Structure 1
């Protein structure tokens, strides 16, 4: 956030990269522009207009109060639509926000004036959301809070009425059980040969499905035994979107366990075109297109049933890889780097799971010592 010294008024760049202009008026009070500006030149123009009004003795502080009242009286719906339209977010996130607005937020607040969205109104709305779907409930509340936080920044409203403690987070109700090595072997044996390397990379290298689907020959350095994660693919409303991985921390180099090298070499020779930009896991019908998740799921469901793990998701391979890495004694920082997490919370879960498995091993050793 930067400020510029001027003969009249000040301009600062806020954390959201928009510019805010303000000045001390003849009444010795600070007056801010009705909204922030995308370009610095627009902020300078607004200050120039205000200075001109003062010089002509046409300036009045009441119009600021009137402008603020007008902003606060605007309906939430149009403001939310503008908020979403100019938000720099990934395509899948945009679709998710659109769905949450249409299903949960706009029906309740779309026609309500911004100033009439009170803490009481928010609490009543939140209590009406389905408590049996805590994640969906938390996401809807979090989106409403984010929009109204921006409204406070834009000085449309004075304070954010979303004040329900903990409402924006939800505890996971699903306990992920990593696959055992035997279960993993059975799953791999029951997958088509062209997808076995994908399952093994997911389990032993901890990649997300979107990261594996976008792997290309040039991302694999088998001589150095390194796999480079630089992109990810998602499908949004039937459209393929290739971009950066989930977060900045997800851009990483992952060391490939040596026992996977022959498997990957065999896969590259049999199923991957020779070009450096060839997809490692392409569609059967079109090698220039990433394998569709539905194709994988069709085979995956049969394979996991054969392993006696109908609860196991493809994404749980990543969890399995993280727990296996934790069992080797990997530190928290090493786990974060390998799995591509920007915060330690998830990596801590993997370490806890590994310690739980270690207790099982210790118990088994005691049974062995006692001859049972």
Structure 2
């Protein structure tokens, strides 16, 4: 017979079931009488569980066990819908959810997702998935969504607890030498020479170059002002957005060795109006990666390079700038990285330090070009040569 005798408890109730196991019940802060999610082997185990539940209520840490019954798929869709995201970021998140997260968790509620499920999913991504970088992005997104679920008091704790799983460990990208940079600029179609040089010596991203307007270029001051970026979505549409952070809105001083090439480009290839685009395609349309990639592949082969992506030009420029003795704050300002606080510190300094960096890059470029035999695969081998009209 079940043993239900005993002194009345101050919090909750314990009783023995016909099976011999013990059941615990308690009244939650919402006034609803709730059983423990499982039975216990001994009365003492049931009482301990009640003591923990009472402590959670006293500390204000109690979570409604019914709250976690929300479908993860529905909650993730709502999370995405409620976020003010840039188009490219929204597109990325939608892809990560559809391809890498929902296949594992769409049939589960928030409360059902446990640490072991996340560990198994993450291992599958690493073993048979899209690669470490995408796995890190997917893990960060899942963790962020579930962090919001914790804040919404739908779950008590976030099951994403794998140390270092959200850190992207990208393979080391190549850094071009100064002669290689100028060989590549000489090898590419003349319309894109200034594009290559600015990507390196102004540490500019593709989207920033595609959005660059004529009024943002001051050749007398040797400055380029970055205030927008172009994102190309999967449907082919081009979206102009502000840089990701305030630090991304910046003015960069360029070395004098690229001024002539940029001056020639503005004269021959850029749109004419002050608000016109600096870089456009052969038919006057905005730049598109797919169209440019053909030019890029030919230029890479002609310059005798391999395994080089366009983003490696910015990486090369950042490396060159660091070799001039620039401080961390100098580099953050030039690259457009850092918090708002770091950006403000940079903005309150004079432009003299950035000009020193550009001048030091001038010296470094000229010295390295002097030390090698002249190689001219595309009609130019120096900043001055590249500024001249192609024959």
Tell me which interval the TM-score lies in, with the shorter structure as reference length.
0.7 to 0.9
Q: Which residue of 2 aligns with 1:115?
A: 111
Instruction: Please provide the CA RMSD for this pair.
Output: 2.3
CA gap of 1:226–1:113, structure 2 versus 1, over 3 A, is same
Aligned to 1:223: 220
Conserved 8 A contact 1:131-1:137? no
Of the candidates 232, 237, 254, which is equivalent to residue 235 of structure 1?
Answer: 232
Match of 2:30 in 1: 61
Listed as ranges, the gaps of 5+ residues in structure 2 are 1-28, 36-62, 343-363, 372-391
Q: Which runs of 4+ in 1 moved over 2 A?
A: 63-71
Q: Which residue of 2 aligns with 1:93?
A: 89
CA shift, 1:64, in A, is 11
Tell me the residue number matched to 1:177. Answer: 174
1:179-202 CA-to-partner distances (Å, cap 9, x unmatched) read: 112211221111111111101111
1:318-337 to 2 correspondences below 5 Å: 318-337=314-333
1:281 to partner: Cα distance: 0.3
1:137 pairs with 2:106: no
Structure 1 unaligned regions, length at least 5:
1-59, 345-357, 366-372
Shift of residue 65 of structure 1?
8.0
Contact 1:284 1:291 in 2 (8 A): no
Counterparts of 1:1-372 in structure 2 under 5 Å?
61-62=30-31, 68-131=64-127, 133-172=131-170, 174-237=171-234, 238-285=236-283, 287=284, 289-342=285-338
Q: CA deviation at 1:70?
A: 3.2
The higher-RCO structure (CA 8 Å, 6+ apart) is 2
SS for the counterpart of 2:175 is: coil
Task: Tell me how far apart the structure 1 counterparts of residues 134 and 222 of structure 2 sit (CA, whole Å).
Answer: 40
Task: Output the CA distance in 1 between the equivalents of 2:209 and 2:288.
Answer: 12
Q: Secondary structure, in 3 states, of the residue corresponding to 2:232?
A: strand
1:14 is matched with none
Work out the CA distance in 1 between the residues paired with 2:74 and 2:316: 45
Q: 1:64 to 1:319 in 2, by over 3 A?
A: farther
Q: Distance in 1 between matches of 2:82 and 2:101?
A: 18
Tell me the secondary structure at the aligned position of residue 127 of structure 2. coil
Post-superposition Cα deviations, 1:149-189, rounded to whole Å, max 9, x if no partner, equal: 000000011111111111111322x2222111221122111
SS at structure 2 position matched to 1:242 = strand
* Matches of 2:118 and 2:201, distance apart in 1: 45
Name the SS for the 1:241 alignment partner. Answer: strand
User: CA offsets per residue over residues 307-358 of structure 1, 9 Å max, x none?
Assistant: 22211111111111111112222111111111111179xxxxxxxxxxxxx9
Instruction: Tell me the SS of whatever aligns to 1:171.
Output: coil
**Structure 1: distance between partners of 2:88 and 2:34:** 40
Distance 1:264 1:240 in 2: 25
Instruction: Note the C-alpha offset of 1:75.
Output: 1.1
Residues 181/64 of structure 1: CA separation in 2 closer, same or farther (3 Å cut): farther
Rounded Cα–Cα distance in structure 1 between residues aligned with 2:102 and 2:158: 17
Taking structure 1 as reference, are residues 123 and 273 closer, same or farther at Cα in structure 2, changes over 3 Å only? closer
User: Can you list the C-alpha shifts for 1:91-144, whole angstroms capped at 9, x where unaligned?
Assistant: 111111111111121121112121111112211222221337111111111111
Once the two structures are superposed, what CA deviation does each residue of 1:269-328 show, in whole Å capped at 9, x if it has no partner? 11123211100001222x3x4211122211111111222221111111111111111222
SS in 2 for 1:131: helix
Distance 1:223 1:337 in 2: 21
Larger Rg: 2
**Cα distance in 2 for residues equivalent to 1:110 and 1:322:** 42
- 298-307 or 208-217, larger mean C-alpha shift: 298-307
